[in-house]
C-alpha cells in the first residue's frame, strides 16, 4: 500500500545520537512518525538539543506542534541534567512535603513542573512524560520506587494533577504514566515481566484511582505489567481486555494511549511481533526509544497510518498544546528552591 506522505504513522521514535544521521533523516521523511522522543544520549548542551528538535520536525514537515517528548521527572529519571538545568527532587520527596502540609506539597509539584516547562520549551520540547501516577506498594521495585508520590491513591492523584497543571501552564502537554498502574511491580520491566496478583477490587480501590481522577488529560502511557485477575496472559500494553474494560471502560480515558517502550523485555517476541500485539490491543501509538534502525524499521512496517479513533485522539493532543502563561521564571525558581531547601 502506498501511503500518502501527508499522513503520519502511529509511532513515536527516538534517534541514536546528538544529530540525525542521513539514514535517520531519510527514514523519518519516508515513514513520518507522529512524534519523537529524546534520551540522555541525545543531550550535549542546550543549543545542540534545540538544533536536534528543529531537525526532527523538519524531516516530517516542520511545525512547532509536532510532539517532541522527554522523560523529565526529577530524581534519577531526568534526561537533561546539571549544569544545563538544575537537579530536581524525585516525586517521593514532593510527596513527603505534601504529608507535612498539603497546600505546600501541591504548590511544590506545580512549581517543579512549571520549571520543567521553562527548561524544556526553550529547547523545542513540548511534551513531558509526567506525572507518574503509579501508587507504590511496600517493596515496589526501584524501576518505580521513589518515582511515585506515595502509597495513597488520593495523594498521588492530587499531586499528579498539580504536576500536570504546572506543565500545561508552561505550554507543555503531560503524559500520565503508567496506565492503569505500575506501582505493584517487583521486577524491572526493562528486563522482566512484572505480575500483579491483586484482585480487581483492590486495583479499582487503589491503582486505578489516580488515572480516573485525571481521565480528561490528553495523553497517557501504558504499563508493561500483567494483572492476573483481569488478563493473566498479557501485560496491559498488549491486552485488549485491559485496554477495553479498564482503560477505556472503568477508568474512562479517551485520550491518546501510547505504549511504554516497545524495546523493553517485559514484552515477548521480536520488535515486529511486539508492535503488532500493541496495535491489536487497541493502543493508539507505539513508542520506540532506542534509536536502533533495524528496530525502527520493524516498528514502522507493523503500524499503519493514523486513522479512526487513534487519529482523532492524536489530532486532539496536538490541538490541545497549551499556550504558556508568561510567568516570571526567576521568581518561581526562587520560590521552589526555598521550598525544597527547608523540606
Residue 97's nearest CA partner among 110, 82, 115, 79 is 110
**Residue 289 CB coordination number (10 Å):** 20
CA angle 281, 68, 86 (to 5 degrees): 120
Sign of the four-CA dihedral 110, 115, 120, 122: positive
The overall longest dimension of the chain from CA atoms, in Å, is 61
Show which residues are catalytic. Answer: 190, 260
Amino acid at each position: 500500500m502506498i501511503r500518502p506522505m501527508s499522513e503520519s504513522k502511529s509511532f513515536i521514535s527516538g534517534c541514536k545520537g546528538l544529530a540525525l544521521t542521513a539514514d535517520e533523516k531519510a527514514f523519518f521523511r519516508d515513514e513520518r512518525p507522529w512524534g519523537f522522543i529524546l534520551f540522555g544520549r541525545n543531550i550535549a548542551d542546550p543549543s545542540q538539543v534545540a538544533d536536534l528538535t528543529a531537525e526532527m520536525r523538519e524531516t516530517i514537515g516542520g511545525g512547532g506542534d509536532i510532539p517532541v517528548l522527554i522523560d523529565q521527572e526529577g530524581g534519577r529519571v531526568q534526561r537533561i541534567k546539571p549544569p544545563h538545568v538544575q537537579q530536581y527532587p524525585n516525586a517521593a520527596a514532593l510527596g513527603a512535603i505534601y504529608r507535612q502540609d498539603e497546600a505546600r506539597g501541591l504548590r511544590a509539584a506545580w512549581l517543579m513542573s512549571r520549571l520543567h516547562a521553562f527548561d524544556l520549551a526553550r529547547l523545542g520540547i513540548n511534551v513531558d512524560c509526567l506525572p507518574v501516577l503509579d501508587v507504590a506498594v511496600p517493596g515496589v521495585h526501584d524501576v518505580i520506587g521513589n518515582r511515585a508520590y506515595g502509597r495513597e491513591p488520593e495523594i498521588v492523584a492530587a499531586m499528579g494533577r498539580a504536576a500536570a497543571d504546572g506543565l500545561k501552564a508552561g505550554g507543555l502537554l503531560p503524559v500520565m504514566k503508567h496506565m492503569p498502574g505500575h506501582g505493584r511491580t517487583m521486577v524491572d520491566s526493562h528486563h522482566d515481566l512484572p505480575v500483579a496478583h491483586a484482585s480487581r477490587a483492590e486495583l479499582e480501590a487503589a491503582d486505578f484511582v489516580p488515572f480516573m481522577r485525571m481521565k480528561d488529560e490528553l495523553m497517557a502511557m501504558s504499563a508493561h505489567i500483567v494483572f492476573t485477575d483481569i488478563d493473566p496472559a498479557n501485560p496491559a500494553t498488549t491486552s485488549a481486555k485491559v485496554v477495553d474494560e479498564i482503560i477505556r471502560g472503568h477508568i474512562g480515558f479517551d485520550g491518546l494511549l501510547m505504549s511504554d517502550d516497545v524495546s523493553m523485555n517485559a514484552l515477548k517476541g521480536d520488535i515486529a511481533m511486539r508492535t503488532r500485539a500493541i496495535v491489536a490491543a487497541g493502543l493508539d501509538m507505539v513508542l520506540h526509544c532506542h534509536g536502533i534502525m533495524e528496530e525502527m524499521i520493524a516498528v514502522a512496517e507493523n503500524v499503519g497510518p493514523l486513522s479512526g479513533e487513534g487519529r482523532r485522539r492524536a489530532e486532539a493532543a496536538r490541538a490541545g498544546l497549551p499556550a504558556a502563561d508568561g510567568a516570571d521564571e526567576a521568581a518561581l525558581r526562587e520560590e521552589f528552591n526555598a521550598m525544597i531547601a527547608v523540606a
